[in-house]
C-alpha cells in the first residue's frame, strides 16, 4: 500500500493540538484544507481517527496506538535526512524559537545573544514564555527548538539534558541597618522578603527548601521577574533569596551585597530539553552545544569566569 507521507505531520499536529483550528494555524493551512487532508488520512489509515466533541476532537483507540509509531517514523526520517546536511554557523540564516524560564532569561540569554552575534550573525532568536505547561511552549510539537529551565514530568518525545545544579543565596542592601557579613536564621525570619514568582513549576524549589528546613519567611512583595528584585531590595530593608548566578550578576551593583543563606537550602537542576526529531539536526546540535558551553562558562568559579 502506498502512503502519502505529507499527511503524517498533519496527523501529529491533530494528535497534539486536539483541535482542527489550532492544528491548521500551526501548519499554516486553512481549515477546509486541513479537513480535506483529514479525510484523506482517514481513508489511508482506514479509521475515523478523530471524533468531534464539544471542546475539540478526541483520538480513536487506533489513532492512539498509531501516534507513537508515526512520531518515531517521522523522527527517524528527519534523522536520516538532516544527518546528511552540513551546518555552517558563520553563514547560516535561520530563526530559532526557544523557551527560557525567567532564571535562564536573566542569566543566560544575554550571553547567548552575544555569542551568536560573534559566531553566527545570521541566526536570530525568538523567545516564547515557559510557563506551567510544556506543550504551550511548542517544544512537544517541535515548533520550538528547546526549553531551558526545570523539567517536571517531561513527555516521552522530549530529550532532557542536565546542565547544572544551582544553589541559593541572599541579597540585601549594603547599608542595611541590621545585617553585616552574615545573616542568622532569626534575622532571616524576622526580615520582610521580596519573593520572585516566575511562571511555571520552578517556584516549587525555594518553597520546598524552606519547608524542609522549617524556615519561615514573611513575604512583603511578590514580583514576576528577577529584574525587579535589585530595585526593591536597594531601596528597602527587605531581603531576597535568589539563585547563585542571579546573585553573582547582582553583586556588580554597588548598592547590594550577597550573603550565604542561614541554612543549606540545597540545589535545583537547570535543564535543557528538545524534541526527539532534532536529536541529529546539525543546526540544533550546534545551538545546544553553544548553550551548554555558555552555561559552563557562566557557572564556573568567579575567579575563572
What pLDDT, in 10s, does the model give residues 269-304? 999 999 888 888 889 999 999 999 999 999 888 654
pLDDT value for 157: 84
Q: Where are the domains of the chain?
A: 5-82, 94-150+272-304, 168-266
**pLDDT attached to residue 304:** 43
The pLDDT of residue 73 is 81
Q: Which residue has the cell 498533519?
A: 10
Contact assessment for residue 148 and residue 215, using Cβ atoms and an 8 Å cutoff: no
pLDDT in tens, 36-52: 999 999 999 999 999 99
Report the predicted TM-score, pTM, of the whole model to 2 decimal places: 0.71
* Mean pLDDT of the 169-182 span: 94
CATH number for the domain formed by residue range(s) 168-266: 3.40.190.10
Average pLDDT over residues 124-152: 84
pLDDT of residue 144 exceeding 80: yes
Question: In the predicted model, is pLDDT for residue 155 greater than 80?
Answer: yes
Which CATH code fits 94-150+272-304? Answer: 3.40.190.10
Query: 24 pLDDT band (50/70/90 cuts)?
Result: confident
The average confidence (pLDDT) of the chain is 87
Question: What is the SS3 assignment for 60-82?
Answer: CHHHHHHHHHHHHHHHHHHHHHH
Please tell me the class of the 5-82 domain. Answer: mainly alpha
Domains 5-82 and 94-150+272-304 share a fold: no
Considering only 115-124, 198-207, 254-263, which range has the smallest mean pLDDT? Answer: 198-207
Q: Average pLDDT in the 27-42 region?
A: 90
Amino acid at each position: 500500500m502506498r502512503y502519502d507521507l505529507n499527511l503524517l505531520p498533519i496527523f501529529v499536529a491533530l494528535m497534539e493540538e486536539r483541535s482542527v483550528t489550532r492544528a491548521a494555524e500551526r501548519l499554516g493551512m486553512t481549515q477546509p484544507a486541513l479537513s480535506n487532508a483529514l479525510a484523506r488520512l482517514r481513508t489511508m489509515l482506514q479509521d475515523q481517527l478523530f471524533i468531534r466533541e464539544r471542546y475539540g476532537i478526541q483520538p480513536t483507540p487506533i489513532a492512539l496506538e498509531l501516534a507513537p509509531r508515526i512520531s518515531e517514523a517521522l523522527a527517524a526520517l528527519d534523522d536520516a535526512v538532516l544527518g546528511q546536511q552540513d551546518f555552517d554557523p558563520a553563514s547560516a540564516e535561520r530563526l530559532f524559537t526557544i523557551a527560557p524560564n525567567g532564571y535562564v532569561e536573566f542569566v543566560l540569554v544575554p550571553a547567548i545573544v552575544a555569542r551568536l552575534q560573534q559566531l553566527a550573525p545570521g541566526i536570530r532568536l525568538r523567545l516564547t514564555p515557559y510557563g506551567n505547561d510544556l506543550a504551550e511552549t511548542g517544544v512537544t510539537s517541535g515548533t520550538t527548538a528547546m526549553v531551558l529551565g526545570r523539567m517536571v514530568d517531561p513527555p516521552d518525545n522530549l530529550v532532557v539534558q542536565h546542565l547544572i545544579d544551582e544553589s541559593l543565596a541572599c541579597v540585601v542592601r549594603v547599608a542595611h541597618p541590621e545585617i553585616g557579613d552574615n545573616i542568622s536564621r532569626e534575622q532571616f525570619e524576622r526580615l520582610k522578603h521580596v519573593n520572585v514568582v516566575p511562571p511555571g513549576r520552578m517556584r516549587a524549589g525555594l518553597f520546598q527548601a524552606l519547608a524542609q528546613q522549617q524556615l519561615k519567611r514573611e513575604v512583603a512583595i511578590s514580583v514576576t521577574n528577577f529584574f525587579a528584585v535589585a530595585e526593591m531590595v536597594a531601596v528597602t530593608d527587605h531581603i531576597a533569596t535568589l539563585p547563585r548566578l542571579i546573585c553573582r550578576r547582582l553583586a556588580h551593583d554597588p548598592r547590594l551585597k550577597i550573603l550565604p543563606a542561614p541554612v543549606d537550602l540545597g540545589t535545583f537542576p537547570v535543564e535543557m530539553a528538545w524534541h526527539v526529531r532534532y536529536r541529529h539536526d546539525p543546526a540544533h546540535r550546534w545551538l545546544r552545544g553553544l548553550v551548554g558551553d555558555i552555561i559552563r562558562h557562566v557557572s564556573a568559579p568567579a575567579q575563572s569566569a
